[in-house]
Amino acid sequence: MRRLWSVVIIILIASVAVSADSKEQNDPNYPNNPSELIRTKWDAVISVLQSKDLGEEARIKKINEIISPIFNVPLMAKLALGRKHWPKLTAAQQEKYTRLFRERLRFLYRQEVSFYANEEVLFKPAVKKKNTVYVPVELKSKDKKIALMHKLRKSGKRWKIYDLEIQGVSILLIYRSQFDDILSSGTVEDFLSRLAKPPKQ
Q: Is residue 201 a part of any domain in this protein? A: no
| CATH code, 87 | 3.10.450.710
Tally of domains within the chain:
1
Q: Is residue 37 a part of any domain in this protein? A: yes
> Which domain range does residue 181 map to?
2-21+29-196
CB atoms within 10 A of CB 55: 9
- pLDDT score of 140: 84
Share of the chain above pLDDT 70, in %: 79
Q: Is residue 128 a part of any domain in this protein? A: yes
Residue 43 pLDDT level (bands cut at 50, 70, 90):
confident
Q: What is the DSSP string of 126-164?
A: -EEETTEEEEEEEEEETTEEEEEEEEEEEETTEEEEEEE
Q: Is residue 87 a part of any domain in this protein? A: yes
- pLDDT score of 115: 56
Q: Which residues of 82-100 are buried (b: 16+ CB within 10 A; e: fewer)?
A: beebbeebeeeebebbbbb
The stretch 150-167 carries a mean pLDDT of 90
Residue of higher predicted confidence among 18 and 7 = 7
User: pLDDT digit string (tens) for 73-120?
Assistant: 788 889 999 999 999 999 999 999 998 988 877 776 666 555 556 678
